[in-house]
């Protein structure tokens, strides 16, 4: 009887040991497969749009040069801001922004530095300057794609295109990889485009855009080539079955909003 009990206990202990070993393996696998949800090293972007009545555009441009740009230069010099770009639209358009600022943070400490400024001077401007601005929108974003180099050659002319999308963000990123980036990379090779950046809003509900495409064209000549280069690129890519399928179904993925043409008045 004691031998049977001992034998049963031994088998039970063996099964228990195997179970614990299996659980430990699962836990280790999960810890490798699932990245941390919050990390101080994950970059994030903040995109701020400023809108003013048409008569206020000269004043806004002056304010950006006198107040905001020196703040951004100081933050960057002190290592509190990774990158920044300040764009000003070429023409007045009451339906969209007049100035767009893109801030890039490498860690939470850099983001906190801007938050401290924003708490005292919203959007980096003093109270008097803000009275002339009708709308400010700050959108926490992630850069999901980029290519090319901004430095060197002619000063870039920006085309900024906002989108809304109707699919899960992961599916939208796949769409960007398989449909959008093959085109933008070809535009760079053709010499019309210097660089591009693609952003998605982290908290998109109720925002004026869910995704933003920034195209830095190779000066005015590059922008003038846009239509011809787009047509030639799409003709070439149409021979790729996966790209062609994406092209035919893109209206079910996203909708394009009004594009803006802008000059970069400051950046690094």
Q: What is the pLDDT of residues 63-118, one digit of tens each?
A: 999 999 999 999 999 999 999 999 999 999 988 999 999 999 999 999 999 999 99
pLDDT at 256 over 90: yes
Phi, psi (rounded to 5 degrees) for 106: -90, -20
More confident residue, 262 or 33: 262
Output the six-digit token pair for 44.
């994030």
pLDDT at 244 over 80: yes
Q: What is the pLDDT of residue 120?
A: 95
| Look-up of token digits 């803000």 | 130
| DSSP string across 56-118 | GHHHHHHHIIIIIHHHHHHHHHTTS-SEEEEEEESS--TTS-SEEEEEEESSHHHHHHHHHHH
pLDDT at 36 over 70: no
Distance CA 262, CA 100 (A): 9
- Can you tell me whether residue 247 is helix, strand or coil? helix
Q: What is the pLDDT of residue 2?
A: 42
- Rounded mean pLDDT, 172-201: 96
Nearest residue to 44 via CA among 112, 90, 96, 99: 112
CA angle in degrees (0–180, nearest 5) for 99-216-144: 90
Q: What is the reported pTM?
A: 0.82
CA angle in degrees (0–180, nearest 5) for 25-30-34: 160
**Residues 207-238 pLDDT 10s:** 999 999 999 999 999 999 999 999 999 999 99
Distance CA 166, CA 163 (A): 10
Give percent of the chain with pLDDT exceeding 90: 75
| Look-up of token digits 């869910």 | 210
pLDDT at 25 over 80: no
The Cβ of residue 215 has, within 10 Å, a number of other Cβ atoms equal to: 25
Q: What is the pLDDT of residue 42?
A: 59
């Amino acid at each position: 009887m004691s031998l049977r009990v001992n034998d049963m206990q031994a088998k039970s202990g063996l099964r228990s040991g195997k179970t614990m070993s299996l659980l430990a393996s699962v836990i280790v696998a999960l810890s490798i497969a699932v990245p941390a949800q919050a990390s101080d090293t994950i970059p994030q972007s903040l995109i701020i749009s400023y809108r003013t009545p048409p008569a206020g555009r000269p004043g806004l441009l002056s304010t950006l040069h006198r107040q905001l740009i020196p703040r951004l230069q100081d933050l960057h010099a002190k290592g509190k801001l990774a990158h920044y770009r300040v764009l000003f639209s070429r023409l007045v358009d009451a339906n969209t922004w007049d100035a767009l600022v893109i801030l890039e943070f490498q860690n939470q400490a850099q983001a906190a530095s801007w938050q401290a400024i924003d708490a005292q001077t919203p959007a980096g401007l003093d109270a008097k300057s803000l009275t002339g601005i009708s709308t400010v929108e700050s959108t926490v974003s992630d850069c999901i794609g980029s290519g090319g180099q901004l430095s060197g050659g002619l000063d870039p002319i920006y085309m900024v295109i906002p989108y809304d999308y109707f699919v899960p963000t992961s599916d939208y990123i796949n769409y960007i990889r398989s449909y959008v980036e093959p085109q933008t990379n070809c535009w760079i090779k053709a010499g019309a485009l210097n660089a591009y950046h693609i952003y998605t809003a982290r908290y998109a509900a109720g925002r004026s855009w869910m995704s933003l495409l920034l195209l830095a064209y190779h000066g005015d000549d590059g922008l003038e080539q846009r239509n011809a280069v787009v047509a030639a690129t799409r003709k070439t890519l149409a021979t790729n079955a996966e790209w062609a399928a994406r092209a035919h179904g893109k209206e079910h993925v996203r909708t394009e909003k009004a594009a803006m043409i802008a000059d970069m008045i400051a950046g690094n």
